[in-house]
Chain A
Amino acid sequence: DTAVSQTPKYLVTQMGNDKSIKCEQNLGHDTMYWYKQDSKKFLKIMFSYNNKELIINETVPNRFSPKSPDKAHLNLHINSLELGDSAVYFCASSPAGTGNTEAFFGQGTRLTVV
């Protein structure tokens, strides 16, 4: 059983399109995250949700809109895709804030904007 699963694993799309990435966790965690890993492998937090409530929005452009329909799901919708959005997007979850608990990451979604 995959603890944190993301779909799709690969996404190739043209500039200007709108796309969504879905994430589900079966760990019973309260907190979910989206991280972006750029071409140099730098990992940066985008959003944190706790019990479906947005906790952190790390100065991400408005074109990115996360949605958490319930505690087990956190989806990411991206409007008007730009070349610079090409990256690997990781969903993660943890039992509480990552202050002292392990964050479990999904396998990532490699987004390529052409």
Chain B
Amino acid sequence: QQQVKQSPQSLIVQKGGISIINCAYENTAFDYFPWYQQFPGKGPALLIAIRPDVSEKKEGRFTISFNKSAKQFSLHIMDSQPGDSATYFCAASVGGSNYKLTFGKGTLLTVNP
């Protein structure tokens, strides 16, 4: 049972374009939604996160859009750069004393120069 579904599996974008990765969740108890970025040979690193009391959060070129009623959230990367090429994971967790992140299956983003 996959609680966080992520798409697409892979994405190729031209430099300067917009990259969009989508996630959907099932567990309505989830209340924290981070995105992690992973480069080859490295561990995942937090990119940006959102809680469901806001519909959008922006940090530089990275924006999370959140739709609570649809149980969906997405990552938009504006002006994509070759250095953004990495695997992106959406995740979800239950706040408070919960102690695990449930990850989507990841999206391999390639930004061509």
Contacts and interface: CB of A to CB of B under 8 A. Distances in A.
Contacts of B46: 102-104
Interface residues of A, number: 27
Interface residues of B, number: 28
Contacts, number: 72
Nearest to A48: B99
B43 A105 contact: yes
Contact of A99 (B45, B93, B103, B108): B93
A102 B43 contact: no
Interface of A: 4, 31, 33, 40-45, 48, 50, 55-56, 58, 90, 92, 97-100, 102-108
12 contacts: A33-B100, A41-B38, A45-B100, A45-B101, A55-B99, A98-B93, A98-B99, A98-B100, A99-B32, A99-B94, A105-B45, A107-B43
